[in-house]
Amino acid sequence: MPENPLHLLLNPRSIAIAGASNNPMKMGTMQALSILTDGWRGEFYPVHPTEKTVLGRRAYASPLDLPAAPDLAMLVVPTAQVVSLLEDFAKRGAKRAIVVSAGFKETGEEGRKLEERLREIAETYGIRFLGPNCMGIVNTEISLNSAFAALEKRPGHLGMASQSGTYITQTIPYLKARGIRFSKAISCGNEADIDIVDALEYLGEDEQTKAIILYIEGIRRGRRFIETAQKITPRKPVLAQYVGGSAAGARAGLSHTGALAGPDFLVDGIFRQAGIIRCHSIEDLYAHGWVHAAQPPLRGRRLAVVTNSGGPGTAASHSAEQGGMTVPRFSEALQARLRPLIAPHAACGNPVDLTFHMSMQVLAATIPEIIMQSGEADGIVLHGALNSGFLKMIYPHISKILGNIPLETLLAQMGGDIAASAALPRKYNLPMVVSSFFGREDDNTSAYMDHDIPVFDSPEKAARGMASLLRHLEIRSRKPVEATALPPLSPEAAGIIRTALAAGQKALDERQAKRFLAAYGVLVAREEIAATEEEAVKNARRIGFPVAVKACAWEIMHKSGKGLIALNVRTEAALRRSFRGIRKAAGREVPILVQEMIAGNREFAAGMTRFAGFGPCVMFGLGGVFTEALKDASFRSAPLGETEAEEMLLDIRAKELLGEYRGLPAVDLAALAGIVRALGSLALLHPEIAEIDLNPVIIAGSRPVVADALIVLK
């Protein structure tokens, strides 16, 4: 496998920058100053058409004048200059570049053409580049920073790839205030060459990076994204915020499947398939990512809550249980060890509520360590380990009774050391997060942050951060995702589509659709076509009453509520009435499908739709006439292995219906998974298919049987 292009790009021995000058208010100058002053050690070459020196360094009028080919070229120049400069850097021998300049495909057709020219240069000269319209990189391992803000001197363990430059650059002070530090950060921009899949792969390989966060507005290489993530997520957490679905979600599908394939439905399924933990705000993305990067992984779902107040303890417990964790009552033996350390009226069963206890040693170190030693908890949320912030708050009221002692003296006398508390997670290999209403104005909060203990500004947020660790425990516990081979193409199925296209059909009629599915082993209802009333009666006798009677023409894609279907037809007389009524509703002598009436109380839906960047995507969910209203569906990108298909079935909210339910037997999950796997496979084998909608799939006993099918052609 070729080396990821970001290895050299993030570890250059020499950098040339076009766009830096002696004007400190220019973007290129700001980025050059970050590179020069934050500790990176390497050769630096300014390129400027008129200046002889830039920032005290000799400047070169052209990339062709450089004394050596730089490992990395940065372009922060007007759009019109980018193409020629990139080509000159490539001619000089540069193999990596960052195009910070904007004004490309994001501006319209002319910009798209310019961006295409950048790709042509890259292919011609073998130069790989990040951008355009990006903000560059951060590599704390070698103190390399092309952002604006000063870099934290201490390297971190959180890697980020972002399709927004702001989240790499402007947020550095925000992150510093919360104790969050990057390992590597990559601004991807327009992704004309290097994209977020390359960035994910690189961060997955990077030993310094313990957890990865992604800010995503769109994914071009969907299958490669999934496959790359599936290799990383069992060993390293990946979290993502996706905000790019609104335009894609506006696409109207002809089938229920297409209508359901809005961005959130689809992306939720894609992330689950990839093992990625989804965040819905940039705040959670940073905060939860830092929990994963800075704390040991969870071993189980048992949470201990230690607090100096009942309200925060209850709130943390409630949020933790909502996130799938348990807050179990401690054993009598553990409570007996905790009881002497707290007031007689205080609770020690879990949560442990010290009720306004000012001894930080007991609250923050002694009690958490006893709990960790006990083996009765897999993680701890600690609330109320405060000091100087609290003293500053109450000082105006207590200063007089203390003899007007200066605040500084009081703080010095009351100062404590929480190093023992902060060391507990690594000592016992158990995660701990802190909740405090005080920020860095409190010395304990600052100390926790500086010791890589995540601090949240509410107990609920702290509990949700711990629950995020549970998501990765679940991902680590998944069955391995196996490679998937497509079945051989069915000549019969190919012939059905060929015939339909030759006839000008935009969809298969229901009988054609079911024959097509049956060719790939999908169990469908027994049925026969009738051209006359007498033929319909004969068909019903052969199949056996009761039957379903339907209009069968490719133009009729949906029948419910239009008088084009009759169910539970039990007699010949009723069949004749239904036959005539359907043809009257259709307004013509439409062929009539006579189908066995499948007995079953559980209805599901399955389908396939194509989604930009991901190709064919398979859907499974609740079926029947309320499919779109209930929107209880899960999606995956094809092809699907057995593990992926089984997980998909259990993703829906109504998954209890798949097991034994009110006297009904458990559904044959292998057969049901086989249907959704088949949909993905046949979509890949037959690119002429645009959408598939199987609704309902009725559970007859335990067997899933396709009762209705729509296949839309491109």
Collect all residues with Cβ–Cβ distance below 8 Å to 687 and sequence separation of at least 6: 714
Instruction: Let me know: does 376 contact 304? Beta carbons within 8 Å.
Output: yes
**C-alpha closest to that of 260 among 692, 689, 684, 627:** 627
Instruction: Let me know: does 140 contact 151? Beta carbons within 8 Å.
Output: yes
221 is written with which tokens? 């290489």
Topology (CATH level 3) of domain 481-525+598-714: D-amino Acid Aminotransferase; Chain A, domain 1 (3.30.470)
Asked if the domains 6-244 and 293-476 are classified in one and the same CATH topology, the answer is yes
CA atoms within 13 A on the CB side of 434: 31
Q: Is 397 helix (H, G, I), strand (E, B) or coil?
A: helix
Tell the residue number behind the tokens 């249907």, with chain if given. Answer: 675
Check residue 142 and report its DSSP letter. T
What's the CA gap between 436 and 384, in Å, rounded? 6
pLDDT at 397: 85
Strand order in the sheet with 211-216: 144-145, 137-139, 182-187, 158-162, 211-216, 238-242, 277-279
pLDDT at 253: 43
Q: Is 542 helix (H, G, I), strand (E, B) or coil?
A: helix
Domain boundaries, the chain: 6-244, 293-476, 481-525+598-714, 529-596
Collect all residues with Cβ–Cβ distance below 8 Å to 373 and sequence separation of at least 6: 428
pLDDT at 256: 43
Topology (CATH level 3) of domain 6-244: Rossmann fold (3.40.50)
- Kindly indicate whether the domain formed by 529-596 is annotated with CATH number 3.40.50.1220: no
pLDDT at 269: 93
CA atoms within 13 A on the CB side of 542: 13
Would you give the end-to-end CA distance of the chain in angstroms? Answer: 36
Collect all residues with Cβ–Cβ distance below 8 Å to 670 and sequence separation of at least 6: none
- Written as one string, the DSSP assignment of 33-96 is HHHHHTT--SEEEEE-SS-SEETTEE-BSSGGG-SS--SEEEE-S-HHHHHHHHHHHHHHT--E
**C-alpha closest to that of 613 among 301, 267, 133:** 267
Q: pLDDT under 50 in the chain at which residues?
A: 247-262
Q: Is 505 helix (H, G, I), strand (E, B) or coil?
A: coil
Check whether the bond before 546 is cis (ω within 30° of 0).
yes
pLDDT at 191: 95
**C-alpha closest to that of 705 among 525, 544, 521:** 525
Beta bridge partners of residue 547, listed in sequence order: 569, 596
Count other Cβ atoms within 10 Å, centred on residue 626: 11
Q: Is 556 exposed, middle or buried (0-12, 13-18, 19+ CB in 10 A)?
A: buried
pLDDT at 257: 41
pLDDT at 277: 98
**C-alpha closest to that of 500 among 310, 243, 712:** 712
pLDDT at 377: 98
Check whether the bond before 132 is cis (ω within 30° of 0).
yes
Q: CATH top-level class for 293-476?
A: alpha beta
Sign of CA dihedral 640, 641, 642, 646: negative
Q: Summarize pLDDT for 525-581 with one digit per residue, the tens.
A: 999 999 999 999 999 999 999 999 999 999 988 877 788 999 999 999 999 999 999
474 is written with which tokens? 């679940």
Count other Cβ atoms within 10 Å, centred on residue 682: 25
- The model's pTM: 0.92
